[in-house]
Amino acid sequence: MLKIKNLAVAVGDKEILHDVSLTIRRGETHVLFGPNGSGKTTLLATIMGFPKYRVIRGSISFKGKDITGLSLDERARFGIGMSFQRPPVVRGVETRDMVAACLKEPESEETINKLASRTNLADFLHREINYGFSGGEIKRSEMMQLMAQKPELALLDEPESGVDLENIALIGKLINELLEKDCLIVNRKCMGLIITHTGHILDYVNARTGYVMCDGVIGCEGDPHEILAVVREKGYEECIRCLMKRRGMMSRPEVNKEVP
Amino acid sequence: MRDVKTSKTYKDRAKVAANKPAALGEDIDLSTYVSSAEEQPYQADPSQLPAEAKEQMLGAGIILDDVDRRSGTFIQMDNVSVHSSTRQEGIEVMPVGQALEKYDWMADYWWRAVAVDTDKYTANVELSQHDGYFIRALPGYKTILPVQACLYLSKVRLAQNVHNIIIAEENSEMHIITGCTTASREEPGLHLGVSEFYIKRGAKVTFTMIHSWNPEVAVRPRTVAIVEENGLLLSNYVLMKPVHSLQMYPAARCVGENAKVRYNSILMAAKGSSLDVGSRVILGAKGAGAEIVSRAITTGGNIIARGYIEGSAPEVKGHLECRGLILHGKGTIHAIPELKGNLAGVDLSHEAAVGKIAEEEVEYLMARGLSRTEATATIVRGFLRVDIEGLPPMLSAELQRAVEASEKDLM
């Protein structure tokens, strides 16, 4: 189980996330909606443990252990994996090297080739990672690495952005494989948290819970398809309006509070 | 030792240039070095050389215990050649002095690519030279296994003066590994090496030079290659060990149509090392092409990484790529890429970058489960990986081994 409690996160001197709580059980897939700049990537990057994102309040626990103090690589080895929206180019490091680094089992040519063929990247293994890759190639390469890593918590940052329709279908299929959607929930080992701005990925991947993040807080939680229907009809402006209205009624979340 | 008809003229020109400072690099006082060394016995079986020397040579890519992996071998210790042999038809390997005695036509190659009065170092080689290697591929012969040549410096304060001639006759193909190294101690020494390459029509030469000096040695190679029509020179240079001062700017002149040259250099400067290294190509015939790629890493030393491509014929194309990484310490990398086009229709470009390892890249690898040290090592290994098109896999593996052998020194 992933349990995030009253999390507040700062980047530099600026508090980006305020009082975020959510729980994902093994086998479940949750989706995070929200306009650009609302803090979705900050939440994923904080769960992954990137040092730039500083937890100032609250906690993150995973598999019953408080991981708030674990480093990025310790979290990766503890079972958390992330697909990047815009991963960096690493010159001279081949895609194959990255897949080999992700593999938990001893490196085998056969395993790597199989993964490459499943992600339609057989010709990319000896290319420098992300160098000159198209949007779809980047996403498939991120999925290939995650499939090698076999995380128990997969954090997927906009897996469909910049991808054409044909590739979205393939990426959806790969996500379903990664999240073991063909197994009963009780038999799955993996859980997922997916960021989506447009919601297109929901046409291919089933999710149990959706959240809308606005201005660093989770504004609402519910059935992802219902949320998406509202967003598609009225846009995120409606979510922001709704949040502002409720903020007026309730005590305001700790926005712009000074960082200790 | 030799009898080149015009040698008197060369001696005269050398005497005039004996004190002429080089255009680049720290000036070295030649009077602090000696040029004579003891005679060394000839070794018919190079595996019988002292174990310590063999080990040092191995670090520079020279294999003496398994010569089946080479098509020819030349070894010079200090200023004396101690072994030369060939194992393949169509390849000649011998001390250059012997070649001068054997072939009248050597005058057509002697100081014809490199000018004897370039600077005091070329002059000193002419005035004090004892030996060097002669490697030649006969017309139409193509060899897969490399010829290896080793220049070994053992005497303290010795100036090693070497003059090498490499000839690839028409439509031949050969691979050469040159390993330059010293006895395993930190004593001053000077290596002056003149190399003249003649790559005839349709010939292909890959030349891989591995330098493995010590922190007290000064090195001044002077190299020029002349590449004829449809000829190809693929030159790789690796320096991963400390050296006191090294300055070289090898040049290739593409004189025939569609001549192609590629230089790859991998340079590492430890604290106390000063390197001024570049490659220069003159594209002087229609359709000629050049690619210069260099990777420089400093862990505290200073590197000037140069590159120069000049296009002075129609439809020539050249690209220069120069990347530097300041790993730690207070090292300096000064990249100086230069392009000169002399007529419309030349296509020359360059890219240069100097910096530290990007934190974003380290974190990307850490997110896959690598520790910070492992992630950094992977990025450095990637930085040093130069894909060399046309290099046989065996040579590529040896080159990679020479680089990886020193990786631990970087971390």
Q: Are A70 and A49 in contact (CB under 8 A)?
A: yes
Give the DSSP H or E segment for A4: strand A2-11
* Residue B283 and residue B400 share a domain: no
Q: Are B69 and B58 in contact (CB under 8 A)?
A: no
Model confidence pLDDT, tens digit, residues A230-253: 999 988 888 888 888 887 765 444
Q: Please, what is the angle between helix B372-384 and helix B359-366, to 10°?
A: 120
Q: Across the interface, do B366 and A73 touch by the CB < 8 Å criterion?
A: yes
* Residue B372 and residue B341 share a domain: no
Q: Walk across the sheet containing A191-195 and list its strands.
A: A80-83, A153-157, A191-195, A29-33, A209-214, A217-222
Distance between CA atoms of B47 and B73, rounded to whole angstroms? 11
Q: Name the A residues in 48-107 with CB < 8 Å from any B CB.
A: 48, 50-51, 71-73, 76-77, 81-82, 84, 87-88, 90-94, 97-98, 101-102
DSSP code for B223? E
| A74, two tokens | 């310790």
**Domain count for chain B:** 2
* Residue B247 and residue B128 share a domain: yes
DSSP code for A251? P
Q: Are B261 and B225 in contact (CB under 8 A)?
A: yes
Q: Across the interface, do B382 and A149 touch by the CB < 8 Å criterion?
A: no
- pLDDT confidence of residue B403: 72
Residue A186 — very low, low, confident or very high, per pLDDT cuts 50/70/90? confident
- pLDDT confidence of residue A159: 93
- pLDDT confidence of residue A187: 87
How much is the ipTM here?
Answer: 0.93
Asked if residue B248 belongs to a domain, the reply is: yes
As a whole number, the mean pLDDT across chain A is 91
Last residue in a domain, options B339, B359, B379: B359
* Residue B393 and residue B322 share a domain: no
- pLDDT confidence of residue A166: 83
* Residue B341 and residue B215 share a domain: yes
Angle at A232 between CA A231 and CA A238, to 5 degrees: 35
Mutate to test the interface with A, among B322, B363, B376, B388 (most CBs of A within 10 A): B363
Distance between CA atoms of B408 and B411, rounded to whole angstroms? 6
* Residue B380 and residue B266 share a domain: no
* Residue B81 and residue B205 share a domain: yes
pLDDT (mean) for A32-60: 95
Q: Which residue has the higher pLDDT, B401 or A56?
A: A56
* Residue B345 and residue B248 share a domain: yes
pLDDT (mean) for A183-211: 91
Residue A51: closest CA among chain B residues belongs to which residue? B363
* Residue B32 and residue B135 share a domain: yes
Q: Between A and B, how many CB-CB pairs are < 8 A?
A: 66
Residue type, B278: G
Whether the per-residue pLDDT at B184 is higher than 70: the answer is yes
Q: How far is CA B178 from CA A182, A202, B146, in A?
A: 59, 61, 10
Mutate to test the interface with A, among B365, B384, B403 (most CBs of A within 10 A): B365
Asked if residue B1 belongs to a domain, the reply is: no
Distance between CA atoms of B117 and B121, rounded to whole angstroms? 9
pLDDT (mean) for B17-33: 95
Q: Are B249 and B205 in contact (CB under 8 A)?
A: no
Residue type, B134: F
Residue B382 structural domain: 360-411
* Residue B343 and residue B372 share a domain: no
Q: Domain A2-249: give its CATH architecture.
A: 3-Layer(aba) Sandwich (3.40)
* Residue B347 and residue B404 share a domain: no
Q: Please, what is the angle between helix A95-102 and helix B372-384, to 10°?
A: 160
Mutate to test the interface with B, among A46, A47, A73 (most CBs of B within 10 A): A73
What is the DSSP code string of A63-116? TTEE-TT--HHHHHHTTEEEE-SSPPP-TT-BHHHHHHHH-SSPP-HHHHHHHH
- pLDDT confidence of residue B408: 67
* Residue B373 and residue B322 share a domain: no
Angle at A1 between CA A239 and CA A47, to 5 degrees: 60
- pLDDT confidence of residue B340: 97
Asked if residue B53 belongs to a domain, the reply is: yes
- pLDDT confidence of residue A256: 42
Q: Are B125 and B1 in contact (CB under 8 A)?
A: no
Residues of A in contact with B297 (CB under 8 A): none
Q: Across the interface, do A72 and B361 touch by the CB < 8 Å criterion?
A: no
Asked if residue B2 belongs to a domain, the reply is: no
